[in-house]
Structure formats: structure tokens, C-alpha cells
């Protein structure tokens, strides 16, 4: 790695779980960990707060395996590939090493940018920029480096730590339409009031630019998720049966987490013209009463 990336006391390179390298970011008492594997933000903890992101105790930390938790980068497609079922769910960028290409540290923010290296046959460039300050801001920028239109669906698939999924609620989606992926035919329904959880939940809210708030009375905090360049918000909790089917997700872990994902997927999938760049940003703030 280019030694210019590290900044004493602010940006250091460390060896983490599974021997994978990560960038340890600090700023005014806040900290974040960005694994080079998948440009995966695994940890975010504001000063004086409990960790905001969740990851499974069963997660793998191995080359060619995705990490379960934190903020997986789903790129250049979300969910199953449109035509080739042999390709991995949520694209391939979370299975590969990204390269840190830029960094800075000011009085109010610590910033790093990582690039998903182009390779043969891929005519798209991805960069992820992480800004740690009074909040955590993550931007995924895609550039079509080819000579034809590029289909793109994407997500910053954030896993948030909560006290108990059965007592939290999510506001900001009232009256928004969503694809219920668990129902036959994936019908489009309308959200009534806050989102609450009493079973497996897997919804793609569409055509929405609104910010969401996870209200967590058990942790005496709210997590605000703002966004730019995103028309989809995905809300997911696997609940009991699906958690038991996932080898990298503990059977009793589902109450501890909820995904609120900043995305462009389903009806909001994109097509980039040659040379076009599209950026999508998620911003995470923690508020205490
Ligand atoms: O974002 C929700 C979702 O698409 C769920 O359907 C579930 O599959 C989750 O992502 C995790 O997907 P993964 O491929 O990481 O196991």
C-alpha cells in the first residue's frame, strides 16, 4: 500500500479478523474500521456510544468469502444476477481486495477512498469513500469506462446493532411503496406507519429519497440513516428460520440486528451511459434523547 495513505493517530493499517488488513480511522473520539476485503466498513463507534454496526460472531473473514455484517458493498448488481444464476448474490466486489488510493485528515473529518481495481472484461470502475466525523458517511461511486450502456444495481447493505428487533421501529417510510420479496409474485404494497418486526422481513422500498430513523428504546438511542443518489431503501431481518439456514449467521443473533440499506435496485436499477459516473451516499448519525 502507498504509505501516503496512513496518517499518524488518524489512519493506521492493522491486521484484523482472519488476518485481513483494515484501515483504522479515528476522529475526535470516533472510530471506524474499513477492511480492504470488499472495502468493507465493519465497525463504526461515535465517541461515547456503543458500536453502531453489527456483525455476526459466525462471520467468515476469508478471501473469496463475504463478511456477514458491517456495510457490505453490493455491486454491480443487487440480489440475484439478472440472467446468470451461477454468479454470486449481490455481485462480486465484496469478495475481492480493494486498494486504498487517497486519504486525508482534518480537524473535523478523517477520509479514505478505496478503488475496486479494474480487471479484464470489466468496463466499470468503483470507488468507495468513507468520511468519519460527527457522523459516518459512505459513498459508492461507479464509472462506466466502457463504450456501451452499463446496467447497475447497488446497495450499501448496512447492518445496524439494536437492543432487540422486537422492540425497535423504523420511521421515514410511511406511505412509501415497497416490494415484499417474501410474498409470491413480489407484490408492491404500501407502508402504513412505522416499520415494526414480528417475523422475517425483506422489503425493497422504492422511489424514496427519504431518510429513515431506527428508534431503539432498549439502547436509549436513535440511528438516523440519510442518503443521496439512492431511490431504494431495503429493510431486512432474517428472523428465526432464515438465520438458522445461514452458516455465517448465529441461530440466536437475529434479535441483535436490522438492515436498513441505501440502494438502487428493483424498479430503481440504473443504466450508466459510457463515461457516466453515478454516486450513492449513505450517512449514519446516532442521536440520544
Ligand atoms: O438485502 C436483503 C437481502 O437481499 C436478503 O434477501 C438476504 O438475502 C440478505 O440480502 C443477505 O444476502 P447475502 O447474499 O449477504 O446472504
**CA separation for the pair 173, 28 (Å, rounded):** 32
Residue 100 banded pLDDT, cuts 50, 70, 90: very high
End-to-end CA distance of the chain: 42
Residue 220 banded pLDDT, cuts 50, 70, 90: very high
**CA separation for the pair 235, 155 (Å, rounded):** 12
Tens digit of each residue's pLDDT (9 = 90 or more) over 245-281: 999 999 999 999 999 999 999 999 999 999 999 999 9
**CA separation for the pair 16, 217 (Å, rounded):** 32
SS3 label, residue 266: helix
| pLDDT(283) > 80 | yes
Q: Please give the average per-residue pLDDT across 13-31, as a whole number.
A: 97
pLDDT of residue 119: 74
| pLDDT(75) > 70 | yes
Atom of ligand 1 nearest to the CA of 155: 1
- Choice among 117-121, 123-127, 233-237 with the minimum mean pLDDT: 117-121
Ligand 1: residues with CB < 6 A are 66, 79, 89-90, 157, 202, 234, 236, 259, 261
**CA separation for the pair 128, 134 (Å, rounded):** 19
- Report the C-alpha dihedral over residues 141, 91, 184, 212, rounded to 10 degrees: -30
Q: Please give the average per-residue pLDDT across 116-142, as a whole number.
A: 91
**Backbone region of residue 172 per phi and psi (left: phi > 0; alpha: psi in -120 to 50; beta: other values):** left
pLDDT of residue 289: 85
**CA separation for the pair 124, 76 (Å, rounded):** 9
> Residue 206: which residues within 8 A CB-CB, separation 6 or more?
176, 177, 178, 179, 188, 231, 232, 266, 267, 268
Global confidence as pTM: 0.97
Residue 3 banded pLDDT, cuts 50, 70, 90: low
What is the chain's length?
289
Q: Please give the average per-residue pLDDT across 37-41, as a whole number.
A: 98
Q: Which of 66, 75, 90, 205 to mutate to test the pocket of ligand 1 (most atoms within 8 A of CB)?
A: 90
**CA separation for the pair 15, 33 (Å, rounded):** 11
* H-run or E-run covering 240: helix 239-245
**How much of the chain, in percent, has pLDDT values that exceed 70?**
98
pLDDT of residue 123: 87
**CA separation for the pair 139, 141 (Å, rounded):** 6
CA geometry: angle at 213 spanning 208 and 215, to 5°? Answer: 145
What residues are paired with 4 via a beta bridge?
none
| pLDDT(16) > 70 | yes
| pLDDT(120) > 70 | no
**CA separation for the pair 160, 182 (Å, rounded):** 21
pLDDT of residue 216: 98
Domains of the chain: 3-287 (2.70.98.10)
pLDDT of residue 1: 60
Residue 117 banded pLDDT, cuts 50, 70, 90: confident
> Which residue has the CA at smallest separation from atom 14 of ligand 1?
89
pLDDT of residue 57: 98
Q: Tell me whether strands 169-171 and 270-272 are parallel, antiparallel or unpaired.
A: unpaired
C-beta of residue 187 within 8 angstroms of C-beta of residue 174: no
Q: Please give the average per-residue pLDDT across 167-174, as a whole number.
A: 98
C-beta of residue 26 within 8 angstroms of C-beta of residue 9: yes
Q: Which of 72, 75, 80, 89 to mutate to test the pocket of ligand 1 (most atoms within 8 A of CB)?
A: 89
CA torsion sign for 18, 20, 21, 25 is negative
Tens digit of each residue's pLDDT (9 = 90 or more) over 230-254: 999 999 999 999 999 999 999 999 9
Mean pLDDT across the chain: 96
Q: Please give the average per-residue pLDDT across 56-79, as a whole number.
A: 97
169 alpha carbon to ligand 1 midpoint, in Å?
20
Amino acid at each position: 500500500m502507498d504509505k501516503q495513505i496512513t496518517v499518524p493517530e488518524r489512519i493506521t493499517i492493522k491486521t484484523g479478523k482472519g488476518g485481513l488488513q483494515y484501515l483504522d480511522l479515528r476522529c475526535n473520539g470516533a472510530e471506524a474500521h474499513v477492511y480492504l476485503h470488499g472495502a468493507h466498513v465493519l465497525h463504526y463507534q461515535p465517541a461515547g456510544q456503543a458500536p453502531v454496526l453489527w456483525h455476526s460472531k459466525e462471520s467468515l473473514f476469508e478471501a473469496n468469502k463475504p463478511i456477514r455484517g458491517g456495510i457490505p458493498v453490493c455491486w454491480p448488481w443487487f440480489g440475484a444476477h439478472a440472467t446468470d444464476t451461477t454468479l454470486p448474490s449481490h455481485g462480486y466486489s465484496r469478495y475481492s481486495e480493494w486498494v486504498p488510493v487517497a486519504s486525508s485528515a482534518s480537524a473535523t473529518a478523517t477520509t479514505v477512498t478505496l478503488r475496486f481495481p479494474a480487471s479484464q472484461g470489466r468496463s466499470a470502475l468503483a470507488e468507495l469513500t468513507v468520511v468519519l466525523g460527527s457522523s459516518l458517511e459512505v459513498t459508492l461511486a461507479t464509472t462506466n469506462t466502457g463504450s456501451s450502456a452499463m446496467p447497475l444495481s447497488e446497495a450499501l447493505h448496512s447492518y445496524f446493532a439494536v437492543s432487540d428487533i422486537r422492540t425497535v421501529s423504523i420511521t421515514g417510510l410511511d406511505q412509501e411503496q415497497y416490494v415484499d420479496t417474501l410474498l409470491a409474485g413480489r407484490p408492491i404494497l404500501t407502508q402504513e406507519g412505522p416499520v415494526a418486526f414480528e417475523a422475517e422481513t425483506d422489503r425493497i422500498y422504492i422511489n424514496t429519497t427519504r431518510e429513515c430513523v431506527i428508534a431503539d428504546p432498549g439502547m436509549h438511542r436513535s440511528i438516523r440513516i440519510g442518503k443521496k443518489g439512492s431511490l431504494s431503501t431495503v429493510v431486512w431481518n432474517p428472523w428465526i428460520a432464515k438465520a438458522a439456514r445461514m452458516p455465517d449467521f448465529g441461530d440466536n443473533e437475529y434479535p441483535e440486528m436490522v438492515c436498513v440499506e441505501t440502494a438502487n435496485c428493483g424498479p430503481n436499477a440504473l443504466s450508466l451511459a459510457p463515461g457516466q459516473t453515478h454516486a450513492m451516499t449513505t450517512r449514519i448519525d446516532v442521536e440520544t434523547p
